[in-house]
Structure 1
């Protein structure tokens, strides 16, 4: 009796299990049918005002943000010319597989929707450079995200990530990664493998200690750790490329040590920046004063040279006066340019007004000394005047030589 009753019970249990399996299968089939019906309804659904014009415009940029779409309009799937597609602020839970046909897409924005997973069709858009998935319900990224080899910017802020998605290691050109407002507590120790990364946003997570692996990422230019629970930040002098570091709303006592070119945001940052600015101004002022002192020191030898030549000229003038006194003559002032011109143009009057040979020799000696002084002064003032001044002086000397030779000829003829 016991065996027969047990057998009957097993038979009844098997029938119940088969019945449950059948019911589950029926539910799945019903869900599939329901989804198909909803898709058909969405295809036949009337589009909001103005969307038809956007779809027919032929513009490579299509913005369908905040139209409260539950499903992507089927007309979008035929726009092979699209390069930028913005679907922010809708009610999308998934995307149709046909979106993979839009191979020209470079930017796809799906912020503020209701996505639980990244649609696999999106991972087939090989030319994407920017993908925005912020403010959805994501907890992880699919392995197929590795197919986006051209991706440079990925924003997945305001989701539910508890672990860093290591699939991103296989994206060689990823430069900007936005992971703010998630639930991260740590970072992987091999994060430094992301050598192309330049900007990393980790604000609003649950870090209690500064992730030490960040000190190995010397290519980082932007690092944001706002609104975490970090009480101590080490020196960031080992990050030479860093230009912006934000640590606001952390329980730290003051700013960390950073390079002179780094802009910091957080507790005590304003005072630190003011001190740095004053130090920079003082350094620049000291440098200017040093340059001015060096310029003044370089100009001193020129002045000394001019004074020296002036003293030499005075001595030469005194010697010429002594020579003239010994010969019984009195030196006269050097002829002006007008007098020289008159002598050159009117030869007869010039010969009548010429003094004797001894006086002329004294004058020539005096003028030669003066010419030497003028030539030295022109050289000191700049090379640009040397040629012009020299030519003029040569001209005056030639005239004086000509007059001196004329007197000698006149004396020889009289003899």
Structure 2
């Protein structure tokens, strides 16, 4: 009995060992199959590798790992691997020192791969729609970076690591979980376009009033019930506040395009005022011409020599229209009611920015941001919104425009 029992026990042990070996073999086989599947390139990709083209688009190919051959393409300048299943990148990608644009949107990355932080010639990095909660300190190595998109991630705090990127002009942080901004954000003096839509702001961040170089600010889809006057932001060209619990836009400069509830009526009133002032100036000029006097336009004599002489005598020519004076007095009174904070005006550096919002698709090089998807198609970013035709040709680094192309 005892021997029989021991024999039976031995058989059980043998069977258990055999089962363990079978499981191990099965797991190895699965891993090998996965590797084989990943190394098996989709139709047409082989031709892309052999083309010698500096632009490589491997978007939406269902890659779980970046094909190893990519890291040997030293001629690459632009690499798009959006819409795959990547969780990281191989360390060998750091060899691609010629890369200027890297797009990793719509993957499954929980942290920025360290190898990416070694691509020191990057000017544009797209990390939207991943699973990021923070940025690594090593990101400061990307001293040439001008455009960073990290929208649709899980940021709960503003990444101060960005302070060490002196040339960053376009920052897309929409659709995250931000509630506040750090008070020293104004250290980012190069910033021209800032997207903060669909976050969790309930109060307008006061630090933004000190961001003197901002030209585009998007605060759509937050919970802000009151906006301060933005007239001090002299460089501002577009402010979007749609889908916030307010019924009217804040006070802005005359050149600012506003988008949101009540904005259309506001713009109509502003245009009507401009037209009234223009007609008043024309009428004044006509009356002065009939009277044989030098016509004046907004306090400046048309005749430059007369103007010079009058300036020498200390006389100031003014527009004698009552409505104009009342309007100016009203504006001065409004200005006096604003915060007693004087912000110096910085001179715009001549970069180029286009804003357009509608959908986004990926093609090859240009990213158009419009809602739910992305599209690569050329060299620049257009941020377009329905019923809005706005194009500001001064800030070149917002979106996917490639200055070198």
| Shorter-chain TM-score range | 0.5 to 0.7
1:101 to 84, 95, 98: 95
String of CA shifts for 1:349-375, please: whole Å, max 9, x gaps. xxxxxxxxxxxxxxxxxxxxxxxxxxx
TM-score (norm 1): 0.62
Query: How far 1:288 moved relative to its partner?
Result: 2.5
Tell me, in whole angstroms, the C-alpha distance in 2 between the residues paired with 1:260 and 1:248: 19
Equivalent of 1:51 in 30, 45, 57: 45
CA shift digits 1:110-139 (9 cap, x unpaired): 000011110000000000000000000000
Greater fraction helix: 1
Match of 1:349 in 2: none
Write out aligned runs for 1:184-223 (5 A). Answer: 184-223=178-217
Q: Unaligned stretches of 5+ in structure 1?
A: 1-29, 301-415
Task: Give the alignment partner of residue 82 of structure 2, picking from 81, 88, 92.
Answer: 88
2:130 to 136, 142, 157: 136
Deviation at 1:295, TM superposition (A): 4.0
Inter-partner Cα distance in structure 2 for 1:128 and 1:183: 27
Cα 1:118–1:35 change in 2 (3 A) is farther
Matches within 5 A, 1:296-375: 296-298=290-292
Q: 1:101 & 1:231 partners in 2: Cα distance?
A: 49
Change (3 A) 1:34 1:200: farther
> Which one is further off, 196-205 or 33-42?
33-42
Q: Which residue in 2 is equivalent to 1:153?
A: 147
Report the equivalent of 1:249.
243
Tell me the CA shift for residue 252 of structure 1: 1.3
Retained in 2: the 8 A contact 1:42–1:73?
no
Shift of 1:74: 1.2
After TM superposition, the structure 1 = structure 2 runs for residues 369-388 of structure 1, keeping only pairs within 5 Å, are none
TM-score scaled to structure 2, two decimals?
A: 0.63
How large is the RMSD of aligned CA atoms in angstroms? Answer: 2.3
SS for the counterpart of 2:148 is strand
Deviation at 1:299, TM superposition (A): 9.3
Aligned equivalents of 1:289, 1:271: Cα separation in 2? 27
Decide whether aligned partners of structure 1 residues 179 and 38 sit closer, same or farther in structure 2, where only a CA change above 3 A counts.
farther
Asked whether 1:175 is paired with 2:169, we answer yes
What's the offset of the Cα at 1:285? 1.9
User: What is the alpha-carbon distance in structure 2 between the residues aligned to residue 186 and residue 37 of structure 1?
Assistant: 47
Q: CA deviation at 1:284?
A: 1.7
Matched, 1:226 2:211: no
User: In 1, Cα distance between the equivalents of 2:235 and 2:155?
Assistant: 28
Give the Cα–Cα distance (whole angstroms) in 2 for the partners of residues 104 and 296 of structure 1: 69
Pick from 68, 79, 85: which aligns with 2:73? 79
Q: Distance in 2 between matches of 1:34 and 1:140?
A: 36
SS in 2 for 1:177: strand
User: Which SS does the other structure have where 2:281 is aligned?
Assistant: helix
**Ranges in structure 2 where 5+ consecutive residues have no aligned partner:** 1-24, 295-405
Q: Tell me how far apart the structure 2 counterparts of residues 162 and 128 of structure 1 sit (CA, whole Å).
A: 26
- DSSP-derived class of the 1:41 partner: helix
Structure 1, residues 142-175: CA drift from partner, whole Å, max 9, x if none? 1100000000000000000001000000000000
Q: Whose relative contact order is higher, 1 or 2, with alpha carbons under 8 Å and at least 6 apart?
A: 2
Tell me how far apart the structure 1 counterparts of residues 142 and 29 of structure 2 sit (CA, whole Å): 32
The residue aligned with 2:268 is: 274
Is the 1:221–1:243 Cα contact (8 Å) retained in structure 2?
Answer: yes
In structure 2, C-alpha distance between the alignment counterparts of 1:37 and 1:106, rounded to whole Å: 34
Find the counterpart in structure 2 of residue 317 from structure 1.
Answer: none
For residue 36 of structure 2, what is the aligned residue in structure 1?
Answer: 41
Number of corresponding residues: 270
Larger Rg, first or second structure (1 or 2): 1
CA distance in 2, matches of 1:135, 1:53: 29
Q: CA offset at residue 289 of structure 1? A: 2.8
The counterpart of 1:163, out of the listed 129, 146, 157, is 157
Report deviation, 1:296: 4.1
Q: Which residue of 2 is the match for residue 22 of structure 1?
A: none
CA-CA distance at 1:293 after TM superposition: 3.6
Q: Distance in 2 between the 1:285 and 1:63 partners?
A: 55
Look up the match of 2:340.
none
